[in-house]
Amino acid sequence: TTPAPCTYRCNDGTCIGKEKRCNFVPDCSQREDEADCGECDFESSTCGWQDDSVGYYIWARRNASSILLMPGDMTTNTTKGFVMTVAGGSGSFAGSSRLVSERIASTAASCRVTFGLYRSRDRDGTLALYLEDDSKYTTKLWTDPRTTM
């Protein structure tokens, strides 16, 4: 039989299958196969989250100090931290703005999504959190109670 291709290489050179990455069982000697498994605070990067917007509004990673009247980010509780923001860009005025994560691997029942929300001013619009499964079926998990339609 032909060995399976190496889909994840540990720091010590050991090869493990992609199904062993982020499965809550450390298979690499330095546990790196369980690192960066969905946790992101946007302080150093977008962590694979991408803007998938159509229209006027786009998502971007910005320093909290560049946002008028923002009290600070959740991670540092200062304006020195980084946040994801949605702001006007080029394109048609009407449209949706989507921030999409990479596929998140297996999770435990205790896993949760935690995020902060800051609105510089009340505007018409909708903010919601959706879960999309492998078949592209989406489920709405949360809607901002201050949403106006």
Q: Which residue has the higher pLDDT, 126 or 88?
A: 126
- Indicate the average pLDDT of the chain: 80
Average pLDDT over residues 47-65: 87
User: Rg (Cα) of the chain, in Å, rounded?
Assistant: 19
Asked if the structure places residue 1 within a domain, the reply is yes
Asked if the structure places residue 2 within a domain, the reply is yes
Residue 26's domain is classified under what CATH number?
Answer: 4.10.400
Count of domains in the chain? 1
Asked if the structure places residue 91 within a domain, the reply is no
Rounded to whole angstroms, the Cα distance separating 62 from 86 reads: 10
Asked if the structure places residue 139 within a domain, the reply is no
User: What's the pLDDT band for 28 if we cut at 50, 70, 90?
Assistant: very high
Asked if the structure places residue 8 within a domain, the reply is yes
3-state secondary structure of 15: strand
Asked if the structure places residue 6 within a domain, the reply is yes
pLDDT of res. 102: 77
pTM above 0.75, yes or no: no
Locate tokens 């290489």: which residue?
Answer: 9
pLDDT of res. 101: 86
Q: Which residue type sits at 43?
A: E
Summarised one tens digit per residue, pLDDT across range 3-18 is: 667 888 999 999 998 8
Asked if the structure places residue 5 within a domain, the reply is yes
Asked if the structure places residue 20 within a domain, the reply is yes
User: What's the pLDDT band for 29 if we cut at 50, 70, 90?
Assistant: very high
Kindly report the backbone phi and psi dihedral angles of residue 65, in degrees, each rounded to the nearest multiple of 5, phi listed first: -65, -20
Domain span including residue 24: 1-35
Summarised one tens digit per residue, pLDDT across range 60-107 is: 999 888 887 777 777 778 788 888 888 765 555 566 788 998 777 666
Exposed e or buried b per residue across 20-55, where buried means at least 16 C-beta atoms within 10 angstroms of its C-beta: bbbbeeebbeeebbbeeebeeebeeebbebebebee
